[in-house]
Amino acid sequence: MKTALLTAAETVGKPSVNITIFVVFVLITLLIVIRASRNNRTAADYYAGGRAFTGRQNGIAISGDYLSAASFLGIAGAIATSGYDGFMYSIGFLVAWLVALLLVAELLRNTGKFTMADVLSFRLRQGPVRTAAAISTLAVSLFYLLAQMAGAGGLVNLLLGIEGTTGQNITIIVVGILMIVYVLVGGMKGTTWVQIIKAVLLILGAALMTFWVLGKAGLDLSSLLGDAAAKAPQKAPLAKDAVLNPGLKYVFDAKGHTDPIKQFDFISLSMALVLGTAGLPHVLMRFYTVPTAKEARKSVVWAIWLIGLFYLFTLVLGFGAMWLVGPKKILAAPGKANSAAPLLAYELGGTLLLGLIAAVAFATILAVVAGLTITASASFAHDVYSNVLKKGKVSPDDEVKVARITAIVIGIAAVFGGIWAKDQNIAFLVALAFAVAASANLPTILYSLFWKRFNTRGALWSIYGGLISSITLIVFSPVVSGKPADPKTHLSASMITNPSIDFHWFPLDNPGLVSIPLAFLLGWIGTLTSKESDATKYAEMEVRSLTGAGAEKAVSH
Amino acid sequence: MTPTARTGGPGTSYQEVQASQEFGELRNRFRKFVFPMTGLFLAWYFLYVGLAAFAPGFMSTKVMGNINIGLIFGLLQFVSTFAITMIYARWADRQFDPTAERLREHMERGQL
Nearest CA in chain A to B67: A222
B positions 70-89 inside 8 Å of A (CB): 70-71, 74, 77-78, 81-82, 84-86, 88-89
Classify A172 in phi/psi space as left (phi over 0), alpha (psi -120 to 50) or beta. alpha
A91/B77 Cβ within 8 A: yes
Question: A83-96: per-residue pLDDT in tens?
Answer: 999 999 899 999 99
Between A and B, how many residue pairs show a Cβ–Cβ distance under 8 A?
A: 160
Burial of residue B4, with CB atoms counted within 10 A of its CB: 0-12 exposed, 13-18 middle, 19 or more buried: buried
3-state secondary structure A493-536: CCCCCCCCCCCCCCCCCCCHHHHHHHHHHHHHHHHHCCCCCCHH
A264 interaction partners in chain B (CB closer than 8 Å): 53
Hey, of A299, A509, A546, which one would you mutate to test binding to chain B, going by the most B CBs within 10 A of its CB? A546
pLDDT score at A550: 83
* Partner-chain residue, chosen from A220, A274, A544, that has the shortest CB–CB distance to B45: A274
- For residues B103 and A548, what is the distance between their CA atoms, to the nearest angstrom? 10
Nearest CA in chain B to A269: B49
- For residues B18 and A156, what is the distance between their CA atoms, to the nearest angstrom? 56
Decide if pLDDT at B11 tops 70. Answer: no
- For residues A39 and B46, what is the distance between their CA atoms, to the nearest angstrom? 47
A223/B65 Cβ within 8 A: yes
- For residues A269 and A265, what is the distance between their CA atoms, to the nearest angstrom? 6
A225 interaction partners in chain B (CB closer than 8 Å): 65-67, 71
Whether B69 and chain A come into contact, CB under 8 Å, resolves to: no
Q: Residue type at A362?
A: F
Q: CB count, 10 Å around CB of A31?
A: 10
**Degrees (nearest 5) of the Cα angle A288, A293, A294?**
130
Residues 6+ apart with CB under 8 A from A150: A418, A421, A422, A423, A424, A426, A429
Could you tell me which residues are beta bridge partners of residue A252?
A258
- A323 with A329: CB under 8 angstroms? no
Length of chain A: 557
How high is the mean pLDDT in each 10-residue block of chain A (557 residues)?
41 74 86 84 86 94 88 89 92 96 95 90 92 93 84 72 74 85 88 91 94 94 92 80 88 86 94 94 92 95 97 96 93 82 92 86 84 91 90 88 92 85 71 91 96 95 97 91 83 82 92 97 96 90 90 80
pLDDT score at A471: 93
pLDDT score at B7: 40
Burial of residue A398, with CB atoms counted within 10 A of its CB: 0-12 exposed, 13-18 middle, 19 or more buried: middle
B45/A102 Cβ within 8 A: no
3-state secondary structure A450-476: HCCCCCHHHHHHHHHHHHHHHHHHHHC
- A511 with A469: CB under 8 angstroms? yes
CA distances from A79 to A198, A228, A275 (A): 23, 11, 22
- For residues A401 and A257, what is the distance between their CA atoms, to the nearest angstrom? 58
Hey, of A103, A220, A245, which one would you mutate to test binding to chain B, going by the most B CBs within 10 A of its CB? A245
* Partner-chain residue, chosen from B23, B66, B81, that has the shortest CB–CB distance to A244: B66
Helices first, then strands: H and E counts in chain A: 23, 0
Reported as type and span, the H/E element at residue A434 is helix A426-440
pLDDT score at B4: 42
What DSSP designation does A234 have? Answer: P
B74/A103 Cβ within 8 A: no
User: Which whole number is the average pLDDT over B75-90?
Assistant: 97
**Degrees (nearest 5) of the Cα angle A25, A30, A34?**
155
Question: A210-241: per-residue pLDDT in tens?
Answer: 999 999 999 999 999 999 999 888 776 788 88
B23/A88 Cβ within 8 A: no
pLDDT score at A43: 85
B70/A239 Cβ within 8 A: no
Burial of residue B62, with CB atoms counted within 10 A of its CB: 0-12 exposed, 13-18 middle, 19 or more buried: middle
Residue A23 to chain B, least CA–CA distance (Å): 37
Residues 6+ apart with CB under 8 A from A113: A288, A382, A552
pLDDT score at A183: 87
Residues 6+ apart with CB under 8 A from A388: A126, A127, A130, A131, A134
pLDDT score at A423: 67
Give percent helix, percent strand, percent coil of chain A, each to the nearest 5: 75, 0, 25
CA distances from A467 to A269, A374, A460, A461, B70 (A): 16, 21, 10, 10, 34
A101 interaction partners in chain B (CB closer than 8 Å): 85, 88
A308 interaction partners in chain B (CB closer than 8 Å): 78, 81-82
Residue A460 to chain B, least CA–CA distance (Å): 25
Q: Quick check: helix, strand or coil at residue B27? A: helix
Hey, of A292, A302, A547, which one would you mutate to test binding to chain B, going by the most B CBs within 10 A of its CB? A547
Hey, of A75, A87, A95, which one would you mutate to test binding to chain B, going by the most B CBs within 10 A of its CB? A95
B105 interaction partners in chain A (CB closer than 8 Å): none
B60/A245 Cβ within 8 A: yes
A450 interaction partners in chain B (CB closer than 8 Å): 31
Could you tell me which residues are beta bridge partners of residue B64?
B67
- For residues A499 and A479, what is the distance between their CA atoms, to the nearest angstrom? 12
CA distances from A10 to A325, A527, B42 (A): 16, 61, 47
Average pLDDT of chain B? 88
CB half-sphere exposure, A207, CA atoms < 13 A: 10
A225/B66 Cβ within 8 A: yes
A88 interaction partners in chain B (CB closer than 8 Å): 49, 52, 74
Sign of CA dihedral A519, A520, A526, A532: positive
Nearest to A368 by CA among A94, A75, A63, A18: A63
Residue A181 to chain B, least CA–CA distance (Å): 35
- What does the DSSP assignment read for A270-322? HHHHHHHGGG-HHHHHHGGGSSSHHHHHHHHHHHHHHHHHHHHHHHHHHHHHH
Query: Structure pTM?
Result: 0.92
- For residues A370 and A56, what is the distance between their CA atoms, to the nearest angstrom? 20
Nearest CA in chain B to A226: B66
B107/A547 Cβ within 8 A: yes
- For residues A132 and A124, what is the distance between their CA atoms, to the nearest angstrom? 12
- What does the DSSP assignment read for A83-107? THHHHHHHHHHHHHHHHIIIIIHHH
- For residues A255 and A236, what is the distance between their CA atoms, to the nearest angstrom? 8
* Partner-chain residue, chosen from B23, B34, B66, that has the shortest CB–CB distance to A543: B23
